Amino acid sequence: MSAKPKQVQPDLLRGHKLGESEFTFENRDVSLYSLGIGFNQDPLKEADFRFTYENDEFFSVFPTMPVVAISNGIEGIFDCPGLPEFNPMMLLHGEQKIISYKPIPVGTTCKTVSYVSDVADKVKGALLTITVSLTEGETRYADIVGKLFIRGIGGFGDKGYDNEVIPKVPEREPDFIAEEVTEKNRAVLYRLSGDINPLHIDPNMAALGGYKAPILHGLCTYGISAKAIYEKYCPGQPEEIKVMNARFTSHVFPGETLLVETYQEGKFIHFETRTKERGKVVAMGFVELRQELKL
């Protein structure tokens, strides 16, 4: 194995294939993910059975569930050519985007291919863009695009090609605010969908990361925000969610209540998600629906 470079080498990183595997959207996993982002907190809410109960007539994969496949890409970056050695505790999940081309039927086995699509120098660190594609044969179901910030390895001078900016929410009062309660064991539940980073369960590891207690997964907050938008703007029609893009701005402690503040502009639902207890904005972004809502 060749020695690690002392500085990021963009030409070696861009286009590097991180891995290829398969992921099956089994009944159990579909239900577990949906429970992890807050469906069926009321066990008698039959509308939620669509995502949690395999015998429901419309049992479906919730549109943000494909993000669980990004773990394949994250694991591969530790052996990337062109990337210097770094402390995993310096890795932050900065942004997450999912582009849904068509609903994934329950039971589908998707091929997942992950690669480094871009890298940018942010001075204090490097911003890696990881893309994971989900396909079955000739069918392309989704692309998952995650941006990972690695502190301490900046200064290599390449500003990258991906200049997409998540717009700020409109400067007006929200059109709607959803309250999403998280239980104190929510991170323990959500990690069973694949992200088993001990930061989310082990108090000692959380302390090493500078937190007073284990924190909730950013992708759980992402899913909770999507759930709130789905229930308000396209209930019963999850296929209407085409794109969801979000930036993670702070952490959430399990047990906190999240306020998902939404602003509708045509087929775009802009949002900010904040903690009710601390008033801290933890995520911001937008959902693009397939068609403009009829008022």
Which helix or strand (DSSP H or E) is residue 142 part of?
Answer: strand 139-151
- Dihedral Cα 143, 147, 148, 152, nearest 10 deg: 150
C-beta atoms surrounding 32 within 10 Å:
18
> Is 215 designated active site?
yes
**Amino acid (1-letter code) at residue 286:** F
Burial readout 110-123 (b: 16 or more C-beta within 10 A, e: otherwise): bebbbbbbbbbbbe
272 CB contacts (<8 Å, ≥6 apart)? Answer: 169, 260, 261, 281, 283, 284
Contact present, 108 and 66 (Cβ < 8 Å): no
Q: How far, in Å, CA of 166 to CA of 244, rounded?
A: 11
CA distances to 101, 143, 209, 259 from 63, rounded to whole Å, are: 10, 12, 31, 21
Q: Could you say which of 36, 93, 194, 200 is catalytic?
A: 200
> Is 158 designated active site?
no
Q: Could you say which of 70, 98, 215, 241 is catalytic?
A: 215
Q: How far, in Å, CA of 172 to CA of 263, rounded?
A: 9
> Is 16 designated active site?
no
Q: Could you say which of 94, 218, 223, 285 is catalytic?
A: 218
Apex 221 CA angle, 166 and 247, nearest 5: 20
Q: How far, in Å, CA of 190 to CA of 256, rounded?
A: 15
> Is 195 designated active site?
yes
Catalytic residues: 195, 200, 215, 218
